Amino acid sequence: MSLFPLTDRTQLLLEDILYFEGEGNYTFVYYRNRPAVLLSKSIGFLMERLPEGMFIRISRKYAIHKNAANSLQFEQGEREVTFFESITLTVSRRRWREFKKTVGTKPIRLRK
């Protein structure tokens, strides 16, 4: 396990991060097997400093670990990414095409 120094006092365990959720100037960090952590940094601040290509910004609010996505779903105009079979986040319309290209997976089209 290697820690990534984000600031002088904050280090992140990048391998275990599932996704980030931005809330204004704060960001929740969700890990695989650990409780969520709240950072007093914006998601934009994090994305500028994290290793390039490791995390994918899927909307203004969310960024996910590149290897976390299990499936893509497209249902009635909704663009979603599901991982760990229980976490589903919506991918913004603006970032959907880039997200599919980066992940390299064809969406699963579901119909009701």
Q: Are residues 83 and 52 in the same domain?
A: no
Domain with 50 in it: 16-65
Q: pLDDT tens digits for 15-28?
A: 889 999 999 999 99
**Which pLDDT does position 110 carry in this prediction?**
42
Helix (H, G, I), strand (E, B) or coil at 16: helix
Q: Are residues 38 and 58 in the same domain?
A: yes
pTM of the model: 0.82
Residue 35 sits in a domain whose CATH number is: 2.40.50.40
Q: Buried b vs exposed e over 19-34: b needs ≥16 C-beta within 10 Å?
A: bbbbeeeebebbeeee
Q: Are residues 23 and 60 in the same domain?
A: yes
Q: Are residues 76 and 97 in the same domain?
A: yes
Region 77-95 average pLDDT: 82
**Structure token digits, residue 92:** 């913004």
Residue 109 clears pLDDT 70, i.e. is over it: no
Going by C-alpha positions, the residue among 50, 66, 75 that lies closest to residue 99 is: 66
Q: Are residues 59 and 91 in the same domain?
A: no
Q: Are residues 23 and 59 in the same domain?
A: yes
How many domains does the structure of the chain reveal? 2
Q: Are residues 103 and 88 in the same domain?
A: yes
